[in-house]
């Protein structure tokens, strides 16, 4: 039974997240329906990450099995034909071995959070970034962020609904950069807790606005208490930009 790996790009705005849910549109559900329309088969589609409602992806990865063998280019093009007009695109399809698992084979997930730091409202970047009208000290944000690098108990920065068995995660990268009004936060780890990136970004925004010092962010991490977290940043600024294997 051939296994296919697909790389997917999507606008998360109209979806209630990646994971299939009853009576609401989801990315996984829409893709599963497209696979069924193309192949006539009901499949289990496994994604590398469960993005929340409103979160976007540039390179989400998923896998599924079919009973029939198809050319990967045909799989890609047929899925894209059945996905229209939904804002989902299959960028690539490939055959992989039966031991490949989009979720468990991943060694790193990479996320980007986009902030537009200006007073005027967003026009072209509406629902693609988050506007912060107060001036942000991005150097202070970057310095503070380094306290979160490494293996820590991230209880403070995970949702109270997080189902992960352990709050321990190893954060490999958390960088804050600026290009004119655009502020980007880059986060990398093997895996993340539910709402971890958005929770860290919301707290970093407080640092940038001068509400918190770097020591406050470090203290929030050490507290291991969700109540110590700053605000959770909105979903529309977050992108899954890649998964490494």
Q: Where does residue 158 rank: exposed (0-12), middle (13-18), buried (19+ CB within 10 A)?
A: buried
Average pLDDT of 5-18? 98
110-238 matches 3-96 in CATH topology: yes
pLDDT tens-digit series, residues 62-77: 999 999 999 999 999 9
pLDDT score for 163: 86
Q: How confident is the model at residue 26 (pLDDT cuts 50, 70, 90)?
A: very high
CATH code that applies to domain 3-96: 3.30.70.580
| β partners of residue 9 | 89
- Amino acid 153: pLDDT: 98
* CA trace torsion 236, 203, 155, 108 (10° rounding): 60
According to DSSP, residue 129 is labeled B
Global pTM reads 0.95
Active site residues per annotation: 52
Mean pLDDT along residues 67-96: 97
Does the structure show a pLDDT above 90 at 27? Answer: yes
Contacts of 169 (CB under 8 A, 6+ apart): 151, 152, 154, 189, 190, 191, 192, 193, 196
**CA 211 → CA 15, 79, 81, 177, distances in Å?**
33, 48, 49, 19
**Per-residue pLDDT, 1:** 86
In the chain, domain spans: 3-96, 110-238
Q: What is the mean pLDDT of residues 202-225?
A: 97
Q: How much is the average pLDDT of 173-186?
A: 98
Residue pointed to by tokens 């063998």:
69
CATH for 110-238?
3.30.70.660
**Tens digit of each residue's pLDDT (9 = 90 or more) over 140-178:** 999 999 999 999 999 999 998 898 999 999 999 999 999
């Amino acid at each position: 039974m051939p296994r296919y790996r697909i790389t997917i790009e999507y606008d998360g705005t109209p979806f209630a997240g990646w994971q299939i849910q009853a009576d609401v549109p989801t990315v996984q559900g829409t893709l599963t329906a497209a696979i069924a329309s193309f192949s006539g088969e009901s499949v289990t589609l496994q994604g590398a990450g469960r993005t929340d409602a409103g979160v976007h992806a540039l390179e989400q990865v998923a896998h599924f099995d079919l009973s029939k063998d198809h050319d990967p280019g045909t799989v890609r093009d047929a899925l894209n034909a059945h996905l229209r007009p939904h804002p989902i695109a299959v960028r690539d399809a490939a055959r992989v071995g039966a031991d490949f698992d989009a979720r468990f084979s991943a060694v790193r997930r990479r996320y980007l959070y986009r902030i537009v730091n200006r007073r005027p409202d967003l026009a072209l970047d509406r629902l693609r970034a988050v506007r912060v009208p107060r001036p942000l000290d991005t150097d202070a944000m970057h310095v503070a962020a380094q306290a979160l690098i490494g293996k820590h108990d991230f209880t403070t920065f995970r949702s109270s609904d997080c189902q992960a068995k352990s709050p321990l995660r190893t954060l490999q990268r958390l960088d804050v950069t600026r290009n004119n009004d655009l502020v980007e936060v880059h986060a990398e780890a093997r895996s993340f807790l539910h709402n971890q990136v958005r929770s860290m970004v919301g707290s970093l925004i407080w640092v940038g606005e001068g509400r918190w010092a770097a020591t406050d962010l470090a203290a929030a991490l050490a507290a291991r208490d969700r109540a110590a977290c700053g605000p959770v940043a909105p979903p529309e600024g977050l992108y899954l930009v890649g998964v490494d294997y």
